[in-house]
Amino acid sequence: MGVILELDSARRKLADLPEVDGDRMAMERLGRLQAEMAARDIGGMLLYDPVNVRYATGTRNMQVWAMHNSSRYCLVPAEGLAVVFDFVNCEHMSEYLPTVAESRPAKMWIFHIAGAQRARVMADWAAELADEISERCGNRRIAVDRLDGDPRRALEAHGVEVSFGQDLVEYARRIKTVDELAAQRRAAAICTSALAQMRDATRPGTTENELWSILMGVNVALDGDYTESRMVVSGPRTNPWYTEASNRPVQAGELLALDTDMVGPHGYSCDMSRTWLCPPGTPTGEQRTLYGLAYEQVHHNMALLRPGLTMRELAERSWRIPHRFEPFECGAVIHGIGLCNEFPQLVPRKLFDDLGYDAVLEPDMTVCVESYIGEPGGHEGVKLEEMVRITDTGCELVGEFPFEDELLA
């Protein structure tokens, strides 16, 4: 079948939502990051993760490529504006951004670019950064989000004290500003419009990849970025979870399950999961059982969410999965969401003592509430997930998409 995108419904939804003030959002995010630095007496941050670079500065350039190539970075002092080191001839990408004092070419010591010159490029990189740290940062204690061993040692040779910094960024990102919340709602409007089209297009013979392309197409057409996964699966491929879309045609009477993992405009993620039946057909008893349990888990756990609740308390009160589904239980009961999945995350109760950590829910956090119900040896499974903002008294949906009445009957 040919996929034809319909964008008018999404545009109507967007027209009814508040606009995002990009400059205000960028400056407020920079302020949150610098407040975390000040609290730890950190002179500055060196950021390589393109998601963190975007959070700190508002710059976007070759996001996916930069995720696996350490090609662009920024230095964020505890006071003042950032310096962006961008890909060759890309200084214009940071023009007019209120968060950026200067943009200059990056020194890329990654092997496929530097080759035999890697040691020399790395030495030049470290010398340049050390000079900038001395000039712009209040002290030489620098936090980094990711850095290979060789460049870290090269920087330390200049007397720079390097510490782990991803926790610092995650703490800054955990509370959403007014504009971040608006960006999330706009991403959700695009996502739910795409979901409606995917549901309408779920017919026998349509492939998983064709359905996934609707989500991609609607998002990109409305200035979104990418998806972080491609989990749109059908029938026996719904069990176990974490299988990616293929050219398999969906069959009548099968379940179609998906997890959007969509990164929309301004870089904000909309992470929702739904499962529905491919028509024509009537749901089986087992399909209704799977769906009903997943629905119960999501809504039970959503009802618990409120400011002041700790992860340990939530683990203790969270919905108890029936034993036969426990081996395939979703790895996250809830997780934070912003530019991507983030702090805090709650693992299932059985894993809490070994892998869990305590954190407190706060107003204007955004979290996703997840469920997967499927058992080893089972034919199908159901994935559901809602994205909510923590309010002063509980939580509220960021985006709304209906559940399946025929599977809840």
- Mean pLDDT per 10-residue run, the chain (409 residues)? 81 95 97 97 97 96 90 96 95 94 93 90 94 95 94 95 96 97 98 97 97 97 96 98 97 98 97 98 97 98 98 96 97 96 95 94 98 97 98 97 96
- State both tokens at 13: 């939804």
Q: What is the pLDDT of residue 219?
A: 97
Q: What is the pLDDT of residue 114?
A: 83
Distance of CA 206 to CAs 198, 201, 371, Å? 10, 7, 26
Query: With contact defined as beta carbons under 8 Å apart, do 246 and 209 qualify?
Result: yes
**Statement: the pTM of the whole predicted model exceeds 0.75:** yes
Enclosing H/E stretch for 398: none
Rounded CA gap, 198 and 217, in Å? 11
Rounded CA gap, 310 and 362, in Å? 10
Residue among 275, 252, 235 nearest 407 (CA)? 275
Q: What is the pLDDT of residue 409?
A: 81
Query: What is the amino acid identity at position 264?
Result: G
22-173 and 178-408 in the same fold: no
Scanning the structure block, which residue is given the tokens 């004092």? 101
Q: What is the pLDDT of residue 247?
A: 98
3-state SS assignment for residue 49 = coil
Side-chain half-sphere exposure of 64, counting CA atoms within 13 A: 6
Q: Calculate ∠ Cα 31-91-168, nearest 5°.
A: 30
Q: Are strands 44-47 and 141-144 parallel, antiparallel or unpaired?
A: parallel
Domain ranges for the chain, please list them.
22-173, 178-408
Query: What's the CATH class of domain 22-173?
Result: alpha beta
Query: What's the CATH class of domain 178-408?
Result: alpha beta
Q: What is the pLDDT of residue 2?
A: 60
Q: What is the pLDDT of residue 4?
A: 76
Say if residue 376 is preceded by a cis peptide, omega within 30 of 0: no
CA 138 to chain CA centroid, nearest Å: 32
Rounded CA gap, 223 and 228, in Å? 16
